[in-house]
């Protein structure tokens, strides 16, 4: 049971689930609030969601969801390649959040995304740091999951002697590989070796 659990990246899958949830949630929250005036009517206020301000958030969240299934379906180099891709997704998701926190919400871009009329003028722009921070948490979780997948040991190691085929067990018994057991003694006899004779090996020598 323990080896079965070890061979699957459970922690990485959980990190991907957290990352996808954070990116999805961040996409639903308001990232930018635009206040504008056209000089004719009342001032206008537009709330721009994360999925609109950073359109890649939702698709990236879906990629991470697909990645959860993929980590259980692929092995070896393909799994490590998947880890690199998922880490890159995390980096891509972090870019718009960092840009917003660094003051990337300019009046021109805010007005363009809010689809203001030509005569309208943006009077102020407010950003939501917590929404961007949530996206950063998701991005960090995705990068961490990718790193875990890339760094994990290969699970393609050989099976234990309990599950080795009879030919392999007989060869090991004749060569004296490993600890002598009742099974290895019987395998040595089956292979034509005498396990009671001391020789070069610990189990027995070929007749």
For the chain, give the DSSP string.
-HHHHHTS-HHHHHHHHHHHHHHHHHHHSEEEEEEEE-SSS--EEEEEEHHHHTTTHHHHHHHHHHHHHHTTT--HHHHHHHHHHHHHHHHHHHHHHHHHHTT---HHHHHHHTT--TT-EEEEEEE-HHHHHHHHHHHHHHHHHHHHHHHSPPS-PPPPGGGS-HHHHHHHHHHT-S---HHHHHHHHHTTEETTS-SSSSS-EE-
pTM reported for the whole predicted model: 0.67
| Domain parsing of the chain, residue ranges | 2-151, 161-206
What's the pLDDT at 163? 45
What's the pLDDT at 99? 92
Worst-scoring range by mean pLDDT, 53-57, 108-112, 202-206?
202-206
Q: Averaged over 95-124, what is the pLDDT?
A: 85
- The model's pLDDT over 20-45, given as tens digits with 9 standing for 90+, comes to 999 999 999 999 999 988 877 788 88
What's the pLDDT at 168? 52
Please check the confidence at residue 160 and state whether its pLDDT lies above 50: no
What's the pLDDT at 153? 55
What's the pLDDT at 158? 37
């Amino acid at each position: 049971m323990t080896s079965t659990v070890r061979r699957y990246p459970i922690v990485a899958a959980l990190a991907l689930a957290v990352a996808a949830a954070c990116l999805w949630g961040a996409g639903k929250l308001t990232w930018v609030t635009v206040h504008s005036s056209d000089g004719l009517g009342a001032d206008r206020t537009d709330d721009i969601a994360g999925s609109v301000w950073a359109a890649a958030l939702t698709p990236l969240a879906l990629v991470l969801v697909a990645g959860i299934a993929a980590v259980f379906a692929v092995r070896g180099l393909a799994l490590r390649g998947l880890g690199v891709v998922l880490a890159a997704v995390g980096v891509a998701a972090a870019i718009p959040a960092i840009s917003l926190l660094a003051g990337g919400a300019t009046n021109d871009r805010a007005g363009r995304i809010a689809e203001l009329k030509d005569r309208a003028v943006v009077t102020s722009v407010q950003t939501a740091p917590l929404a961007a921070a949530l996206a950063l948490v998701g991005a960090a979780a995705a990068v961490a999951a990718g790193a875990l997948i890339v760094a994990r040991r290969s699970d393609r190691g050989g099976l234990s002697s309990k599950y080795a085929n009879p030919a392999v067990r007989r060869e090991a018994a004749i060569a004296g590989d490993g600890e002598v057991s009742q099974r290895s003694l019987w395998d040595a006899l089956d292979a034509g070796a005498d396990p009671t004779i001391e020789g070069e090996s610990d189990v027995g020598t070929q007749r």
